Amino acid sequence: MTGWTLGSIKARGLTLEGHCQGKDCGFFATFDLDRLIANAGADYRVPEFVPGIECPECGGALKAVLAALPPGDGSKEAGAG
């Protein structure tokens, strides 16, 4: 579990991304924060590994990472439940 909540990520203008942990995969996705907040709430603490969402390329686990990149940078968007 990280110390970040969905609301704190959005308030700081960061993006939440997922990086596949599958061997030799390297899939990288940007999550829709507004959709995650609508589903889980702004106070939801972000886990290190994204539960219930598998890599669409290989089925591996997605590890949550924060980035200061603006949304819409060309990354593939991952599902948010």
Output the six-digit token pair for 44: 């939801």
pLDDT band at 72 (very low <50, low <70, confident <90, very high): low
Of 56-60, 70-74, 76-80, give the range with the top mean pLDDT.
56-60
pLDDT band at 80 (very low <50, low <70, confident <90, very high): very low
The pLDDT of residue 81 is: 42
Q: Give percent above pLDDT 90 in the chain.
A: 31
Higher local confidence (pLDDT), 69 or 32: 32
Rounded distance between C-alpha atoms, residue 59 and residue 53, angstroms: 9
pTM of the model: 0.69
Distance of CA 54 to the CA centre of its chain: 11
Q: pLDDT tens digits for 44-56?
A: 998 877 777 788 8
